[in-house]
Structure 1
Amino acid sequence: MERGGGVWVSDGTLPGDRRDVVGPRFRVRRGSGGVAGTHPVPPWAAGAERGRRYSQPEHLRLALEELGPTFVKLGQILSTRSDLLPLAYTAELAKLQDAAVPVPTDVIMQTLAEELGGAGAFDRFDGRPLASASIGQVHTARIGDDEVVVKVRRPAAVETVSRDLEILQSLAATASRHSELARGYDLVGIVQDFSRTLRAELDYLTEAANAERFARSFAGDPQVHIPVVYRTTTTPRVLTLERVHGMKIDDLQALDAAGIDRRELAVRATGVLCQMVFEDGLFHADPHPGNFFVAPDGSLAVIDFGMVGELTEPS
């Protein structure tokens, strides 16, 4: 086995205990051999699985799903980067926006017991998940007459993400040593930025503070809605927010059925993003369609502020 600075070099061996996930068997099954090797990187090979052949984009999406929450999050971000990937890849990776295996209800209840003293902190709590994402799982609940959503962090999420980020950093360093393309994109720097934002996303108190900052920024705009944070039932592992209803911004059929002017909606959404970047200096860093909802009146609701970016004055 050849090693360089503790980095996976040629045989698929990785630091830590994830070698059963990203080892030779995985590379053969997904056609990804040589991704970080010293030899040229071959194309992703489509292969037979469950009686049919999968395309290269499908293999990439399946690989990220198998690799776990950090890689699912990376795929979600890449699904919005049509400037980096062909349409076939971004369309396939968009399927990761809602894909995650649900956490058992008893595990969720245990977390609520540890953080809030139990589900009794809510007037009603639905044990069936509304959505299951890469870092947390969302459940509906009520506080008095208010409908809320409760995001509960997955067990061992911090440990899993930390190991995965070490793997990504190792792969980025290796790719940069052997690929001019990787060096040109500053792959190591990209992974470092991704690591910082993903680690911040693990603390729901940070996300709560982000949501409140965005709410203040758009307080005077009736066409933009940011969910209210319920602080008394929010902790580092549990986040309670006002429940918003609406259509996903990329559900064209639903938008047309509701009579939404798509051109006007596009202008509004672009204006929201421009205000974040050019006026507020605080912007949503995970702007995939699953985080933007459209109300019947055409107003826009923005959710999920775990990953944000901030522009500061030059020093």
Structure 2
Amino acid sequence: MAEATTHTARYREIATVLRRHSLGFMVGLLGIGRLVPFRRGNGGRNGARTRAIDTGTAAQSNGETSPEHLRLALEELGPTFIKLGQLLSTRSDLLPPAYVEELAKLQDAAPPVPVADIRAVIRRELGSEPEELFATFDDRPLASASIGQAHAATLDDGTPVVVKVRRPGAVARVLEDLEILQNLAARASRRWGPARDIDAAGVVDEFAQTLRAELDYLQEGRNAERFAEDFAHEADVVIPRVFWEHTTSRVLTLERMRGMNVGDAVALDAAGVDRKRVARRGAEIVLKMTFEDRFFHADLHPGNLFIHDDGTIALIDFGMVGAIGEELRGHLSTLFVALVRGNPAMLAGALTSLS
């Protein structure tokens, strides 16, 4: 296990956390068991224990795992693992329903960064104190996530904005964890048939590429501007403006979007919003991204969608995006045509081409 020498302390931490949450069988599959002392009844090396993740059941007394233990372990391991769990929560083709449901509870939240540190980053990146750059700047964070912390501010012309500041040390930890995850996925694929069958190494490689891009706020700003261009003629879709004079790779200043959470049915009904129309319009937005623009928002969870009283949809958070090539678009088009026509043979052919 030569590659472990570079990140020995982190490998040991991962192994310890997995065993503490009754995921010891994964320690064996990943080949990192020798980094922590073996304790009987805490996971062991019995390959039969992998049945727990195959069925979504648990028997902690036997050292077997459960969906809840997996979620707790990912939360304890920090931002990179939380984001991987969030990705897996959207992949019902890879995990049993119980795991998908539990991983969907993962929240990309973190303890707030001290405001002194936030101000230091802004001063270093933009050259001035927040009070000199903005008409107002709220020291209380709007949100504190694993990679960045957001603060409300106002420009001199009165425009409300959100200032996203990358957490000090976030890049080093994320890059280290991504390298470790890629090593572990490759090893798991060699040791465990199911990991090889789902192309665990490929899943992690794609995840790593996306997350590395999310670390660069300049790229997120460019993504936002591309979406703004793509939806320039869609009056009921709003994309926040980027204020480049207050933006660097570590600080991103965007127009502040307000509205109701797309999942808050009570608030939507109270405002008289037609929820069926919102759902239909949301589907149309995704289809436009996929088939017309071939550039899509890869993190459209409810927290990144705001609904205005008139049904207008505002999108935020453009760090994770994807692009679709011409060949893939053709396969997806064939798949949808087969579904509409109810043609099983055509559908099977489209799925075979996609896979």
TM-score band, normalised by the shorter chain?
A: 0.7 to 0.9
1:124/1:143 contact within 8 Å kept: yes
Alignment of 1:38-53 (within 5 A): 38=29, 39=45, 40=47, 41-42=49-50, 43=52
Distance 1:86 1:288 in 2: 20
Q: Which has the higher contact order (CA 8 A, sep 6+)?
A: 1
Partner of residue 116, structure 1: 126
Structure-2 residue corresponding to 1:37: 28
Q: Does 1:192 align with 2:183?
A: no
Per the alignment, residue 125 of structure 1 pairs with: 137
Alignment of 1:183 with 2:193, yes or no, is no
Answer whether contact 1:31 1:46 (CA < 8 A) is retained: no
CA RMSD of aligned residues (A): 2.3
Partners of 2:319 and 2:20 lie apart in 1 by 33
TM superposition score normalised by structure 2: 0.78
Residues 286 and 296, structure 2, Cα contact 8 Å, conserved in 1: yes
Q: Which residue, out of 208, 228, 241, partners 2:241?
A: 228
Bigger shift: 165-174 or 39-48? 39-48
The answer (yes or no) to whether the contact 2:82–2:108 under 8 Å persists in 1 is no
Matches within 5 A, 1:289-304: 289-304=302-317
TM-score using structure 1 length: 0.88
State which drifts further: 151-160 or 26-35: 26-35
Matches within 5 A, 1:4-153: 6=3, 15-24=7-16, 26-38=17-29, 39=45, 40=47, 41-42=49-50, 43=52, 56-117=66-127, 118-119=129-130, 120-144=132-156, 145-153=158-166
1:233 Cα deviation after fit = 0.3
The gaps in structure 2 that reach 5 residues or longer are 30-44, 329-355
Match of 2:253 in 1: 240
Gaps of at least 5 residues in structure 1 are 8-12, 49-54
> Does residue 279 of the first structure (1) align with residue 288 of the second (2)?
no
Counterpart of 1:283 in 2: which secondary structure?
strand
Answer yes or no: is the 8 Å Cα contact 2:15–2:27 preserved in 1.
no
**In the TM superposition, what is the alpha-carbon distance from 1:291 to its structure 2 partner?**
1.1
- In the alignment, is the contact (CA less than 8 A) between 2:18 and 2:27 conserved in 1? no
Identity of matched residues, % = 55
Structure richer in helix, relative to its length? 2
**C-alpha displacement at 1:203, in angstroms?**
0.6
- Report if the CA contact (8 A) 1:129-1:138 is conserved: yes
Conserved? CA contact 1:16–1:163, under 8 Å: no
Residues 79 and 146, structure 2, Cα contact 8 Å, conserved in 1? yes
Q: For 1:57 and 1:243, how far apart are their aligned partners in 2? A: 36
1:214 matched to which residue of 2? Answer: 227
| One-letter amino acid of the structure 1 residue matched with residue 284 of structure 2 | G
* Equivalent-residue separation in structure 2 for 1:82 and 1:256 (angstroms): 30
